[in-house]
Amino acid sequence: MATWGMMSPSYTGVFAIDPLRDSRWPELIARHPNASVFHTCGWLGTLQATYGYAPVALTTSAPNEHLTNAILFCAVSSWLTGSRFVSLPFSDHCEPLIECAEQFEALCAHAEVLRVREGRKYVELRSANPCLEFGKEFSSTNTYTLHRLDLRPSLSVLHNGFHKDCIQRKISRAERESLTYEAGRSPLLLQQLYGLLQLTRSRQHLPPQPFEWFQNLVGYMGEKVCIRIASKDCQPIAGIMTLEHGKKMVYKYGGSEAKLNNLGAMSMLFWQAIKDAKDASMEELDLGRSDLNNPGLITFKERWSAARTTLTTWRTPAVSTSPSFEHLRTRLAKEVCARLPDSALTLAGRLLYRHIG
């Protein structure tokens, strides 16, 4: 059990706060340029309600001062995978909200002190910020791609930037097929999306996250979450979930009926999300992270003319596990999952996800 609430400031002048209770937190993430939907109370509340992860933010700002900086963590405690501090479970990225290198160094040093005190395996940070300088005590354990689409150009300019054959024509195909579109947060839309997610995860030989996770996302994030469903003859064939924070929309989950992908439903949903984001004066669509060994997903995102950056997972103390070993372990897990029926995959997701955040 984490002891965040018992912590006192150390000699370094670092303080631990509960972002779900500290009234200064929403103001910090509203104004900090590196804050994302993964810093919001809605996302953190979902993590805590679903998996029991208690969030903590380390800061050099004293309790009676204006909150100017923080690094956000959750303590993951597991008998199966060990205990560690993660910034942040099930989050594509979670940038440190800092003002200078000295703050970053002090907060990382204090996180390491807490790791040793709590007897945890490691501290993990996920960042796409090339300006952050991680000390020699950190090592890079995984590298991903992160795609973001600049929404400030006009809709016509954006549309003209899409791949002509693979995106533009599929949007037109969806219109010719008279696919229907519905958006919202209703229980029916959530059930439809989850069914499509289960189909997709089954094809990928991966367990889906538990249904309660998505229920809690809707409950804790409210109007900041949107489910979009495309249907053919009243049958849902593709669905996505997007999240919002400030002027940024984030694509987080998507699923489809593979045998009907040629109808262009997924392209139609992304195009509709882009139009909705433009109507709301948003400036960026974050298409999320992609594994380097998933070239199909990377290609799909780049066909929307999204800019590609490198996203790195850093850990301290430095670890020596090779990428090839990690790839082998993932492949073996998928081979095991490939032999499980869909009902067993769903059960595996309910049992395992709290251990792998």
pLDDT in tens, 318-337: 765 545 444 544 454 555 55
pLDDT at 7: 40
pLDDT digits (tens, 9 = 90+) for 174-215: 999 999 999 999 999 999 999 999 999 999 888 899 999 999
Phi, psi of 304, rounded to the nearest 5 degrees: -90, 5
Dist. CA 127–CA 125, nearest whole Å: 6
- How many C-beta atoms lie closer than 10 Å to residue 171's C-beta? 17
Whole-angstrom Cα distance, residue 260 to residue 301?
20
Question: What is the structure's pLDDT at 11?
Answer: 44
Length of the chain measured in residues:
357
Domains along the sequence of the chain with CATH: 4-133 (3.40.630.30), 147-311 (3.40.630.30)
Report the pLDDT averaged over residues 31-36: 96
Using alpha carbons, list the distances in angstroms from residue 304 to 120, 160, 248, 254, 346. Answer: 41, 10, 17, 16, 32
Measured between alpha carbons, how far is 103 from 69 in angstroms, rounded to an integer? 8
The pLDDT mean for the chain works out to 90
What are the tens digits of pLDDT across the range 276-293? 999 999 999 999 999 999
pLDDT digits 0-9 by tens, 1-24: 343 333 444 446 999 999 999 999
Q: Cα separation of 10 and 15, whole Å?
A: 7
> Tokens 């952050």 identify what position?
132
pTM of the complete model: 0.91
Cβ atoms 315, 128 nearer than 8 A:
no
Classify residue 266 by burial, with Cβ atoms within 10 Å: 0-12, 13-18, 19+.
buried
Rounded distance, CA 148 to CA 283, Å? 10
| Percent over 90 (pLDDT), the chain | 80
Q: Of 47, 86, 89, which is closest to residue 221 (Cα–Cα)?
A: 47
